[in-house]
């Protein structure tokens, strides 16, 4: 009896005990695919790396690039072909032209051969930035540049040095397409345009240093040493680009995330509308090539439909048309119109001083008035219009010193557009499109700008036989550039906004959303059952 009472008491105590807590399943179970961050929103630096060091490194690389352009055009490297006077006394040739006995056409082709590689490779590197780490792509490009420049020093005839110059353009393409987006990503919010101005200031400075460097090394040692010196100068940056922890660009998934998501992108119907089974049967290289081509076509379509971007590039093409003609025909026109003594020195000095001061001033002014696309277009339009007036007036005056003063003021204003125009190209598109935007802009201003401007100006001069009329006609194109950028003010005011806080919805996010929805539905099914 006592045992039964004790047993009943134990059972009663057991029933009154609170039930054990039910373990709560994690709201978001770990997923190896989803654990990766889809977009790199914040830069990941090595312990010693800072944005200022990035800017300094890119400025030095850009400087070396343009030192090479100045060096190959210098007399010490380019040289001259050997000639014989009527009395039979011959003078030996010097430099590249003298050693390889090049005609003027062949010699002139070398200075622009790099453009072939640049125009072909720029869109390719920009497109690859979406599937490969952009910082590593810069390292690949710099390695090609270093190898090609050293090859220029070891060339044996016209074709070997011409091929090496084309490869120099291929190597430079990755840097031109990707450096500006990196600077824009890592610059302080209030100094983005000023940082871009410092970067583009290296263009006139590098060309000027290239003239001096090429002349000194070529005359003191040999033109070959000038190229080998450039290759040695770039070599540390090649090593650094591969050794240091790679940086990411805003709007692009980190490299490890891209590798994880490759199978999803290859088979997801959200990415491609074609039959999945058929795609799975294709070889991997074919799928990758098709994916790259599809991505490139989508990016190009997005750029061409962006009215702000198109207006900016059209204005930039018109602007570069004039700058290209000035750089090639300016000294000859100055000598003919004003009988300048050493016109190369006059135009070189004006371009260097005004290029540095004007480029820095343009970036600082835009930051001071608040850097937006709308303000950038206003600065581009006003600066170009005033610069066109001063340059046009300079070629109208009869006095040499009046020309120098007016032309210097005009170039100061014209060069103030360098930072704002590239700011617009970067900020009018989504972050992942910025490398392609810079690549297409670079290709466009060369194909439609400075490349055709020199021969077209030459054809006009052959017809009118008056350099004053020719230079005034060329300068008037600046008014066209100003007008196009003026229209950009209204286009940007209607539908465009600055992209500081805007992130593109990436392929990763597109795939992630349906997977999360499926996972949520799967978790709800047992409860509903």
Asked if 134 contacts 248 with a C-beta cutoff of 8 angstroms, the reply is: yes
Q: What is the pLDDT of residue 3?
A: 52
Asked if 129 contacts 166 with a C-beta cutoff of 8 angstroms, the reply is: no
Calpha distance 192→183 (Å, rounded): 8
Residues in the chain: 529
Q: What is the pLDDT of residue 189?
A: 82
Residue 412 has pLDDT above 90, yes or no: yes
Q: What is the pLDDT of residue 85?
A: 66
Where does the pLDDT of residue 518 fall: very low under 50, low under 70, confident under 90, or very high at 90 and above? Answer: very low
Average pLDDT over residues 292-301: 80
Residue 503 lies in a domain: no
Asked if 412 contacts 405 with a C-beta cutoff of 8 angstroms, the reply is: no
Residue 163 has pLDDT above 90, yes or no: yes
Read off the CATH number of the domain in which 184 is found: 1.20.1250.20
Residue 312 lies in a domain: yes
**Total domain count, the chain:** 2
Q: What is the pLDDT of residues 344-399, one digit of tens each?
A: 677 777 878 888 899 999 999 999 998 899 999 999 999 999 999 999 999 999 88
Token pair recorded at residue 456:
């077209």
Widest CA span of the chain, in angstroms?
145
Residue 123 has pLDDT above 60, yes or no: yes
* Residues 304 and 248 both lie in one domain: no
Residue 474 lies in a domain: yes
Please indicate whether residue 524 or residue 101 has the higher confidence score (pLDDT): 101
Average pLDDT over residues 20-46: 44
- Of 115-119, 158-162, 293-297, the poorest mean pLDDT is in 293-297
* Residues 307 and 244 both lie in one domain: no
Q: What is the DSSP letter of 338?
A: H
CB-based contacts of 453, cutoff 8 Å, min separation 6: 320, 321, 322, 324, 325, 328, 474
Q: What is the pLDDT of residue 88?
A: 64
* Residues 53 and 196 both lie in one domain: yes
* Residues 317 and 224 both lie in one domain: no
Q: What is the pLDDT of residue 380?
A: 95
Residue 197 lies in a domain: yes
Q: What is the pLDDT of residue 1?
A: 47
* Residues 182 and 125 both lie in one domain: yes
End-to-end CA distance of the chain: 47
Residue 477 has pLDDT above 60, yes or no: yes
Average pLDDT over residues 157-186: 89
Q: Are strands 90-91 and 83-84 parallel, antiparallel or unpaired?
A: antiparallel
Q: What is the pLDDT of residue 286?
A: 67
Average pLDDT over residues 485-504: 66
> In this structure, is the dihedral angle defined by the CA atoms of residues 433, 434, 440 and 441, taken in order, positive or negative?
positive
Q: What is the pLDDT of residues 126-154, one digit of tens each?
A: 888 877 888 888 999 999 999 999 999 99
Residue 244 lies in a domain: yes
Which domain covers residue 487, as residue numbers? 298-495
Average pLDDT over residues 499-527: 43
Please indicate whether residue 286 or residue 36 has the higher confidence score (pLDDT): 286
Residue 11 lies in a domain: no
Burial group, residue 498, by CB count within 10 angstroms (0-12, 13-18, 19+):
middle
Residue 511 has pLDDT above 60, yes or no: no
Q: What is the pLDDT of residue 225?
A: 93
* Residues 406 and 311 both lie in one domain: yes
* Residues 239 and 370 both lie in one domain: no
Q: What is the pLDDT of residue 140?
A: 92
Residue 405 has pLDDT above 80, yes or no: yes
Q: What is the pLDDT of residue 116?
A: 86
Where does the pLDDT of residue 118 fall: very low under 50, low under 70, confident under 90, or very high at 90 and above? Answer: confident
* Residues 77 and 214 both lie in one domain: yes
* Residues 241 and 309 both lie in one domain: no
Asked if 67 contacts 209 with a C-beta cutoff of 8 angstroms, the reply is: yes
Q: What is the DSSP letter of 39?
A: S
Q: What is the pLDDT of residue 77?
A: 82
- Of 154-168, 413-427, 489-503, the poorest mean pLDDT is in 489-503
* Residues 363 and 434 both lie in one domain: yes
Q: What is the pLDDT of residues 268-288, one digit of tens each?
A: 444 444 444 444 444 566 676
Residue 75 has pLDDT above 80, yes or no: no
Q: What percentage of the chain reaches a pLDDT higher than 90?
A: 29
Please indicate whether residue 367 or residue 45 has the higher confidence score (pLDDT): 367
> In this structure, is the dihedral angle defined by the CA atoms of residues 156, 162, 163 and 167, taken in order, positive or negative?
positive
Q: What is the pLDDT of residue 90?
A: 63
Output the DSSP codes for 78-124.
H-B--EE-TTS-EE--BHHHHHHT--HHHHHHHHHHHHHHHHHHHHH
Q: What is the pLDDT of residue 204?
A: 81
Residue 445's Cα: distance from chain center in Å?
Answer: 12
Burial group, residue 85, by CB count within 10 angstroms (0-12, 13-18, 19+):
exposed
* Residues 359 and 486 both lie in one domain: yes
> In this structure, is the dihedral angle defined by the CA atoms of residues 247, 252, 256 and 257, taken in order, positive or negative?
positive
Q: What is the pLDDT of residues 301-319, one digit of tens each?
A: 888 899 999 999 999 999 9
Q: What is the dihedral of CA 332, 336, 338, 343, to 10 degrees?
A: 30
Q: What is the mean pLDDT of the chain?
A: 77
* Residues 247 and 302 both lie in one domain: no
Residue 266 has pLDDT above 60, yes or no: no
Residue 258 has pLDDT above 80, yes or no: no
Residue 196 lies in a domain: yes
Residue 500 lies in a domain: no
Residue 13 has pLDDT above 60, yes or no: no
Q: What is the pLDDT of residues 332-346, one digit of tens each?
A: 788 888 887 777 677
Q: What is the pLDDT of residue 4?
A: 53
């Amino acid at each position: 009896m006592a045992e039964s009472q004790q047993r009943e008491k134990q059972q009663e105590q057991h029933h009154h005990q609170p039930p054990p807590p039910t373990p709560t399943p994690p709201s978001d179970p770990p997923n190896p695919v989803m654990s990766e961050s889809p977009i790199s929103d914040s830069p990941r630096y090595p312990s010693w790396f800072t944005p200022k060091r990035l800017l300094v490194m890119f400025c030095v690389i850009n400087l070396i690039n343009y030192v090479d352009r100045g060096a190959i055009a210098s007399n010490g490297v380019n040289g001259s072909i050997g000639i014989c006077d009527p009395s039979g006394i011959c003078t030996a040739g010097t430099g590249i032209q003298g050693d390889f006995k090049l005609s003027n056409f062949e010699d002139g082709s070398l200075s622009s051969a790099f453009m072939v590689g640049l125009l072909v490779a720029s869109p390719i590197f920009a497109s690859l930035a979406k599937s490969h780490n952009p910082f590593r792509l810069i390292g690949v490009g710099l390695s090609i540049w270093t190898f090609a420049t050293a090859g220029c020093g070891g060339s044996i005839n016209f074709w070997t040095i011409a091929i090496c110059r084309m490869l120099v353009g291929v190597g430079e393409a990755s840097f031109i397409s990707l450096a500006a987006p990196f600077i824009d990503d890592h610059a302080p919010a209030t100094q983005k345009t000023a940082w871009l101005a410092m970067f583009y200031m290296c263009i006139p400075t590098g060309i000027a240093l290239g003239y001096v460097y090429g002349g000194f090394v070529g005359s003191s040692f040999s033109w070959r040493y000038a190229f080998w010196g450039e290759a040695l100068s770039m070599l540390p940056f090649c090593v650094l680009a591969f050794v240091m922890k790679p940086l990411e660009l805003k709007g692009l998934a980190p490299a490890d995330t891209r590798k994880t998501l490759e199978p999803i992108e290859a088979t997801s119907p959200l990415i491609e509308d074609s039959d999945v089974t058929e795609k799975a049967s294709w070889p991997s290289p074919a799928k990758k090539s098709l994916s790259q081509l599809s991505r490139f076509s989508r990016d190009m379509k997005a750029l061409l439909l962006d009215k702000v971007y198109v207006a900016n590039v059209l204005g930039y093409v018109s602007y570069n048309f004039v700058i290209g003609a000035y750089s090639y025909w300016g000294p000859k026109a100055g000598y003919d119109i004003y009988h300048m003594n050493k016109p190369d020195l006059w135009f070189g000095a004006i371009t260097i001083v005004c290029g540095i001061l004007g480029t820095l001033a343009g970036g600082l002014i835009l930051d001071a008035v608040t850097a937006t696309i709308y303000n950038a277009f206003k600065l581009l339009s006003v600066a170009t219009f005033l610069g066109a007036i001063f340059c046009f007036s300079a070629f109208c005056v009869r006095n040499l010193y009046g020309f120098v003063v007016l032309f210097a003021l005009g170039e100061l204003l014209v060069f103030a557009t360098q930072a704002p125009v590239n700011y617009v190209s970067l900020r009018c598109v989504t972050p992942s499109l910025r490398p392609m935007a810079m690549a297409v802009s670079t290709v466009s201003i060369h194909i439609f700008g400075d490349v055709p401007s020199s021969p077209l100006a030459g054809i006009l001069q052959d017809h009118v036989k008056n350099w004053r009329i020719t230079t005034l006609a060329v300068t008037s194109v600046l008014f066209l550039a100003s007008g196009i950028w003026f229209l950009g003010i209204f286009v940007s005011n209607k539908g465009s906004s600055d992209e500081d806080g805007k992130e593109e919805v990436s392929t990763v996010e597109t795939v992630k959303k349906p997977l999360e929805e499926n996972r949520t539905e799967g978790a709800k099914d047992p409860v509903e059952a």
